[in-house]
Structure 1
Amino acid sequence: MFKYLFCFVSTAFCFAQQNWNTTFENGNGNQSATYEECIAFYKKLDAAFETITFQEMGITDSGKPLHLILFSAAKNFDYTKQKAKILINNGIHPGEPDGIDATMILFRDLALQKIAIPKNTLVAAIPVYNIDGMLNRNSYSRANQNGPEAYGFRGNGRNYDLNRDFIKSDTRNSRSFQALFHLVQPDVFLDNHVSNGADYQYTFTCIATQHERLGEKLGNFFKNEMYPEMVKDMQKKKIDVIPYVNIHGAKPDLGYEQFTDTPRYATGYTTLFNTLGFVPETHMLKPYKDRVKTTYEFMVTAINYTDTNWEKIKQVRKANLEEYKVGNQYPLHWEIDSTKVSYIDFKGYEGGYKPSELSGKDRLFYDRNKPFTKKIPFYGNYKPTKFVTIPKYYVVPQSQWQIIELLKLNAIEMTPITQNESFEVEIYTIATYQTGKNAYEGHYGHYNTTVTKNIEKMEFRAGDYKISTNQLGIKYLLETLEPEAVDSYFNWNFFDTILQQKEGYSSYVFEDVAKQILEENPTLKQEFETKKQTDKAFAENGNDQLYWVYKHSKYFEKEFMRYPVYRVLE
Structure 2
Amino acid sequence: MRFLLFTLLFSTLMFSQKPVSLQTPFEKGNGNQSTTYDECIRYYQDLDANYSTIQMIEKGKTDSGKPLHIVIFSENKNFDVNQNKAIVLVNNGIHPGEPDGIDASMMLMRDLATAKIKVPKNTMVVVIPVYNIDGMLNRNTSSRANQNGPEEYGFRGNARNFDLNRDFIKSDTKNSRSFQELYRSINPDVFLDNHVSNGADYQYTFTCIATQHERLGTTLGNYFINEFYPGIVQSMNQKKIDVVPYVNVHSTTPDKGFEQFTDTPRYATGYTTLFNTLGFVPETHMLKSFKERVKVTYEFMVSVINYTDANWQKIKDIRSESYNEYKAGTNYPIDWTIDSTKVSYIDFKGFEGKNKPSDISGKDRLFYDRSKPFTKKIPFYGNYKPSKFVSVPKSYAIPQSQWQVIDLLKLNKIDYTQLKNDTIIEVESYKIDSYQTSKSPYEGHYGHYNTKVSKKTEKLKFVAGDYVFSTKQPAAKYLLETLEPEAVDSYFNWNFFDAILQQKEYFSAYVFEDVAKELLDINPILKAEFDAKKQSDKAFSDSGSAQLDWIYRHSDYYEKSHLQYPVYRIVK
| TM-score by shorter chain over 0.5 | yes
* Cα distance in 2 for residues equivalent to 1:374 and 1:13: 57
Deviation at residue 530 of structure 1 after TM alignment: 2.6
* Cα distance in 2 for residues equivalent to 1:530 and 1:250: 52
Aligned to 1:248: 250
Deviation at residue 515 of structure 1 after TM alignment: 1.6
Paired residue for 2:484, among 474, 482, 505?
A: 482
SS in 1 for 2:477: helix
Deviation at residue 520 of structure 1 after TM alignment: 1.4
CA contact (8 A) 2:427 2:458 kept: yes
SS in 2 for 1:81: coil
* Cα distance in 2 for residues equivalent to 1:75 and 1:363: 57
Deviation at residue 10 of structure 1 after TM alignment: 5.5
* Cα distance in 1 for residues equivalent to 2:503 and 2:249: 43
Aligned to 2:450: 448
Aligned to 2:19: 16
SS in 2 for 1:323: coil
* Cα distance in 2 for residues equivalent to 1:423 and 1:396: 12
Aligned to 2:230: 228
Query: Equivalences for 1:360-439 in 2 at 5 Å?
Result: 360-439=362-441
* Cα distance in 2 for residues equivalent to 1:396 and 1:528: 35
Aligned to 2:159: 157
Aligned amino acid, residue 18 of structure 2: F
CA contact (8 A) 2:256 2:379 kept: yes
Deviation at residue 535 of structure 1 after TM alignment: 2.5
Aligned to 2:466: 464
Deviation at residue 508 of structure 1 after TM alignment: 1.7
Query: For each residue in 1:486-542, what CA deviation from the matched residue of structure 2 results, as whole angstroms up to 9, or x when unmatched?
Result: 000000010111110001111122122112211211221222223223322222222
Query: Equivalences for 1:57-456 in 2 at 5 Å?
Result: 57-456=59-458
* Cα distance in 2 for residues equivalent to 1:249 and 1:235: 29
Aligned amino acid, residue 401 of structure 1: W
Aligned to 2:47: 45
Percent pairwise identity: 68
Aligned amino acid, residue 162 of structure 1: L
- Check 1:278–1:11 CA distance in 2 against 1; reply closer, same or farther (3 A cut): farther
- Check 1:534–1:473 CA distance in 2 against 1; reply closer, same or farther (3 A cut): same
SS in 1 for 2:18: helix
Paired residue for 1:523, among 517, 522, 525?
A: 525
Asked if 1:538 is matched to 2:540, the reply is yes
SS in 2 for 1:223: helix
- Check 1:365–1:122 CA distance in 2 against 1; reply closer, same or farther (3 A cut): same
CA contact (8 A) 2:135 2:154 kept: yes
* Cα distance in 1 for residues equivalent to 2:172 and 2:476: 22
CA contact (8 A) 1:430 1:561 kept: yes
Deviates more, 1:385-394 or 1:313-322: 313-322
- Check 1:175–1:529 CA distance in 2 against 1; reply closer, same or farther (3 A cut): same
CA contact (8 A) 1:16 1:112 kept: no
Query: For each residue in 1:368-407, what CA deviation from the matched residue of structure 2 results, as whole angstroms up to 9, or x when unmatched?
Result: 1111111111000001010000000000110000000000
* Cα distance in 2 for residues equivalent to 1:231 and 1:475: 28
Deviates more, 1:521-530 or 1:169-178: 521-530
Scaled by the length of structure 2, the TM-score of the pair is 0.97
Deviates more, 1:190-199 or 1:517-526: 517-526
Scaled by the length of structure 1, the TM-score of the pair is 0.97
CA contact (8 A) 2:324 2:474 kept: no
SS in 2 for 1:15: coil
CA contact (8 A) 1:426 1:566 kept: yes
Aligned amino acid, residue 472 of structure 1: P
SS in 1 for 2:337: strand
CA contact (8 A) 1:62 1:131 kept: yes
SS in 1 for 2:146: coil
SS in 2 for 1:488: coil
* Cα distance in 2 for residues equivalent to 1:544 and 1:298: 62
Deviation at residue 429 of structure 1 after TM alignment: 0.5
Query: Where do 5+ consecutive residues of structure 2 fail to align?
Result: 1-5
* Cα distance in 1 for residues equivalent to 2:207 and 2:537: 57
Deviation at residue 8 of structure 1 after TM alignment: 13
Aligned to 2:565: 563
Deviates more, 1:319-328 or 1:86-95: 319-328
* Cα distance in 1 for residues equivalent to 2:494 and 2:372: 46
Matched residue pairs, number? 565
CA contact (8 A) 1:165 1:264 kept: yes
Deviation at residue 173 of structure 1 after TM alignment: 0.3
* Cα distance in 1 for residues equivalent to 2:145 and 2:74: 39
